[in-house]
Amino acid sequence: MTVKPLRLIFSLITILLFGLAPINIDAQSTSRCDLICGKWMSSEKNLSVLVYKEGEQFKAKIIWFDDSDDKSRPMETRQDTDNPDPSLRNQKILGSSILRNLVYQPSSNSWENGLIYDAKHGRHWNSAACITPQGVLKVTGYWHFKFIGKTLTFTRV
């Protein structure tokens, strides 16, 4: 009879030490928040961006765009001539930062409170992003209200 209680105690200790290791919720949310990182191609196939994490914020930069509208000005030489800041009009579009300050919100599984730069018009907009269950990245640029913003869709490259 004394063998069974010892076996039971040993089994409980084994389960507690090895079988019921605590789940690290922060590790799970960290891996979910990093899902946005990587290379993405727009659904129009005219823009490719690299999303990366810097500190607790997510950023994106242009790594390719379709320059077929003006072959005399190849992608590598195009400058941000429409930038509202005259001192930045000589910066190249390729490699420029177009998204910053996105912060992951675990409760909604989305990235919020960002700023997106529209190089075509030289303006900054509020931004948010989410990844659909199908793996599509949706980035919304808006001014105060998301429901009247514009959403761009991207697929992972």
Report pLDDT digits (tens) over 112-122: 999 999 888 88
Q: Does position 97 have pLDDT exceeding 80, yes or no?
A: yes
53-80 mean pLDDT? 93
Q: pLDDT tens for residues 23-45?
A: 343 445 558 999 999 999 999 99
C-alpha to C-alpha distance for 89 and 83, rounded to whole angstroms: 5
Where are the chain's structural domains?
Answer: 26-156
Does the reported pTM lie above 0.95?
no
Q: Which pLDDT belongs to residue 42?
A: 98
Distances (CA, A) of 102 to 1, 41, 42, 81, 107: 62, 19, 19, 26, 15
69-82 mean pLDDT? 90
Angle at 106 between CA 101 and CA 110, to 5 degrees: 55
The residue among 103, 118, 121, 127 whose CA lies nearest residue 54 is 103
Output the six-digit token pair for 125: 């907009």
Q: How many CB atoms lie within 10 A of CB 42?
A: 17
Output the six-digit token pair for 150: 């514009």
Contact at 8 Å (CB) between 120 and 2?
Answer: no
Q: Which pLDDT belongs to residue 119?
A: 82
Contact at 8 Å (CB) between 58 and 111?
Answer: yes
Residues in a beta bridge with 94: none
Q: pLDDT tens for residues 5-26?
A: 444 344 433 333 333 333 343 4
* CATH top-level class of 26-156: mainly beta
The sign of the CA dihedral 108, 111, 117, 119 is negative
The residue among 119, 147, 121, 156 whose CA lies nearest residue 43 is 156
